[in-house]
Amino acid sequence: MNDMSNKNIDKIHDNTSNSETNDILDSPITENEIQQALSTQHNGKSSGPDQIPAEIIKASYTFIRS
């Protein structure tokens, strides 16, 4: 049983982030990242929890970003 626990702990440690990953995750979101995310959104799909369809966000992006 102890051997199995150690193997699972090793898997957890393999998934921990390093300082480089932390720096990337802590950096501000860029406009390019936002544009890339918007370009992957498909029209005609159900909206998320905010109930705003992707078409509205895409169409009003220039207004929203300012």
**In angstroms, what CA-CA distances link 34 with 7, 15, 23, 42?**
39, 26, 19, 15
**In angstroms, what CA-CA distances link 48 with 22, 30, 65?**
27, 22, 20
Q: Domain segments of the chain: what residues? A: 2-65
The model's pLDDT over 1-25, given as tens digits with 9 standing for 90+, comes to: 556 666 676 666 666 668 888 888 8
Q: Check pLDDT > 90 for residue 40.
A: yes
Find the mean pLDDT for residues 24-53: 92
Rounded distance between C-alpha atoms, residue 34 and residue 42, angstroms: 15
Between 44 and 16, the more confident residue is: 44
To the nearest 10°, report the CA torsion of 45, 48, 51, 53: -40
Average pLDDT over all residues of the chain: 83
Please indicate, yes or no, whether the overall pTM of this predicted structure exceeds 0.95: no
